[in-house]
Amino acid sequence: MNFFLFAQARKYATTFLKIAYPVPGTAPIDEYEKLSSFFRKNPGLIGLICTYPCRENCTNLLENFFASKFNLLAAEKKLIKQLILTHKINILPALLVELIAVEHERLNEIPCKVELSHNVSIESFNSLKKYFESKFNAKLIPSLVINSELICGLKIYSRTKLYDYSIKKVLDGLSRSIRETEGT
């Protein structure tokens, strides 16, 4: 995605949420995630929509398809129709990603992946989560992944944050240092 498209999608998302869902937590994030996943699984679809000369009837069919398949409300139907009519439908996949991100920001939440080297108890995981919530000053919405390559450690990453504390990171750093020293 180019930066202009990203910036444009961000502006649309911020404006749309302020107007359509002024109260944080009311936007249908789950539906946005389903539609976003649909576009990730069908990457050529948006290009097909962009290049097809769509008349009013076609626009209504497309708008109704997205609304019924993904349980979109009237505000989202209007947004999609506006994007089609202004020939900016190509930003819809990026816009969905930004709608989700902006809504999480408004709720002071950070969706993230938590990679651990091994399974831990629920109490330990909750303790880790609580620690990082205080460190990041936001509520974490974690998805847990076990990654045995970490070698005794953890990695937390989101769109904007990365925390890596594992023996693998230390060993990789040492290996790079040694190669750089030998190379000079």
Same domain, 113 and 38: no
Same domain, 85 and 172: no
Task: Please compute the mean of the pLDDT values over residues 86-101 and round it to a whole number.
Answer: 91
Same domain, 26 and 91: yes
71 — pLDDT class (breaks 50, 70, 90): confident
Same domain, 136 and 98: no
148 — pLDDT class (breaks 50, 70, 90): confident
Last-in-domain residue among 105, 133, 165: 105
For residue 81, what pLDDT is reported?
84
Same domain, 90 and 36: yes
Last-in-domain residue among 105, 133, 166: 105
Same domain, 161 and 179: yes
For residue 56, what pLDDT is reported?
64
**pLDDT tens for each residue of 116-132:** 988 889 999 999 899 99
Q: What is the dihedral of CA 68, 73, 79, 83, to 10 degrees?
A: 0
User: What is d(CA 182, CA 154) in angstroms, rounded to the nearest whole number?
Assistant: 30
Question: Which of 173, 169, 124 has the alpha carbon at shortest distance from 151?
Answer: 169
**pLDDT tens for each residue of 44-69:** 877 777 776 666 667 777 778 888 88
Same domain, 99 and 120: no
Same domain, 99 and 124: no
Last-in-domain residue among 83, 105, 127: 105
Percent of the chain with pLDDT over 90: 44
User: What is d(CA 178, CA 19) in angstroms, rounded to the nearest whole number?
Assistant: 55
Same domain, 88 and 119: no
pTM, whole model, 2 decimals?
0.79
CATH code: domain of residue 67: 1.10.520
Domain that holds residue 166: 109-183
Q: Is the pLDDT of residue 1 over 60?
A: no
Our count of domains for the chain comes to 2
